[in-house]
């Protein structure tokens, strides 16, 4: 009898301890590399080799949102994913490839090859300690091509594997949201109203005047019947002024917002929906991948 009580006490203690551990390292708090000590990292690596690297930008986001909007989005969602999965979030890249927004002051940009190198060297250092599964959470369209290059380089030249889990990635649904609401518009403003409301100047929200070149106008109108042509229209938009395609940010938008939606109708409820959808998709994916041990 006594033996049984002893056994029960030990089992409850083990259960209690594992719940506490998962509370600290799993579901309660996001694991941010900069906030951890090397001992924490060493401990983490005993059971896990996954890491999330958010990719953002410092670029104009209309008159009402901060230049760091994409960073707050990428980092904000990565933190929520970390809270639920216990995967470490490594430093957010505060600058991305954004040169075509530079008609508006404050925008910073790295050349694609610089950005690729920074990300690759970051991954290389993390590999040294045992990280083997890299997930990039990007929230800036201009970074996509660099993200693809880094992922390819990691997958083809190192022991590690890399995968995209952010905006536009294979695990996220595409084609949602309004027809042309690409930058600093209703969708993004809603996300910021949910994730970082103190940085949104609601009284400054103003719908933009959009100016398309005749070619883009034609493609855009055709895309209403055949959505795929919107991708072609996109090739003329968000490109440096030197390309003479009329697609630099200040050429196509009066105030930096790229949207035909009513930006004033943005709300934190809409933002929460988008954030929940993206975070849940990533959490589901990570939990599935976690079944394969390190
Ligand atoms: Zn953005």
Q: What does the domain layout of the chain look like in residue ranges? A: 32-175+272-290
pLDDT in the model for residue 264: 97
Percent of the chain whose pLDDT exceeds 90: 82
DSSP helix/strand/coil, 99: helix
Cα angle at 17 between 16 and 20, to 5 degrees?
90
Enter the tokens of residue 253: 């938008």
Q: Where would I find the H helices in the chain? A: 2-22, 38-47, 69-85, 112-129, 144-157, 186-195, 214-223, 229-235, 249-252, 268-290
Count of residues making up the chain: 294
Ligand 1 centre to CA of 87 (Å) is: 24
Distance 189 CA to ligand 1 centre (A): 9
- Per residue in 208-255, pLDDT tens? 999 999 999 999 899 888 888 988 998 999 999 999 999 999 999 999
Give the pLDDT band of residue 93 (cuts 50, 70, 90): confident
Whether pLDDT at 177 is above 80: no
Question: Do 133 and 90 contact (CB within 8 A), yes or no?
Answer: no
Q: Measure 4 CA to ligand 1 centroid, in angstroms.
A: 60
Q: How far does the centroid of ligand 1 lie from the alpha carbon of residue 15, in Å?
A: 44
Number of H helices, E strands in the chain: 10, 7
Please tell me whether residue 80 adopts helix, strand or coil conformation. Answer: helix
Enter the CATH code of domain 32-175+272-290. 3.40.50.10310
Q: Give tens-digit pLDDT for 135-168.
A: 999 999 999 999 999 999 999 999 999 999 999 8
Distance 187 CA to ligand 1 centre (A): 10
């Amino acid at each position: 009898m006594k033996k049984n009580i002893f056994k029960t006490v030990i089992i409850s203690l083990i259960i209690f301890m594992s719940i506490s551990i998962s509370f600290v390292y799993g579901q309660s708090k996001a694991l941010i590399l900069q906030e951890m000590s090397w001992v924490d990292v060493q401990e983490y690596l005993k059971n896990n080799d996954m890491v999330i690297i958010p990719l953002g930008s410092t670029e104009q986001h209309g008159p009402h949102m901060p230049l760091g909007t994409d960073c707050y989005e990428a980092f904000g969602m990565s933190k929520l994913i970390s809270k639920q999965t216990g995967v470490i979030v490594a430093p957010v890249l505060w600058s991305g490839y954004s040169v075509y927004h530079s008609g508006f002051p404050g925008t910073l940009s790295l050349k694609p090859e610089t950005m690729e190198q920074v990300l690759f060297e970051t991954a290389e250092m993390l590999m040294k300690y045992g990280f083997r599964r890299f997930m990039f959470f990007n929230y800036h369209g201009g970074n996509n091509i660099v993200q693809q290059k880094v992922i390819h380089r990691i997958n083809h030249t190192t022991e590690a594997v890399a995968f995209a889990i952010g905006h536009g990635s294979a695990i996220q649904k595409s084609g949602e949201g309004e027809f042309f609401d690409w930058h600093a518009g209703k969708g993004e403003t809603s996300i910021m109203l949910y994730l970082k409301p103190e940085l949104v100047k609601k009284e400054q929200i103003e719908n933009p005047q959009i100016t398309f070149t005749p070619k883009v106008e034609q493609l855009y109108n055709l895309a209403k019947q055949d959505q795929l042509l919107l991708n072609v229209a996109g090739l003329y938009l968000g490109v440096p002024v030197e390309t003479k395609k009329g697609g630099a940010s200040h050429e196509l938008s009066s105030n930096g917002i790229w949207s035909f939606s009513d930006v004033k109708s943005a709300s934190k409820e809409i933002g929460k929906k988008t954030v929940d959808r993206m975070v849940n998709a990533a959490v589901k994916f990570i939990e599935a991948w976690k079944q394969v041990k390190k």
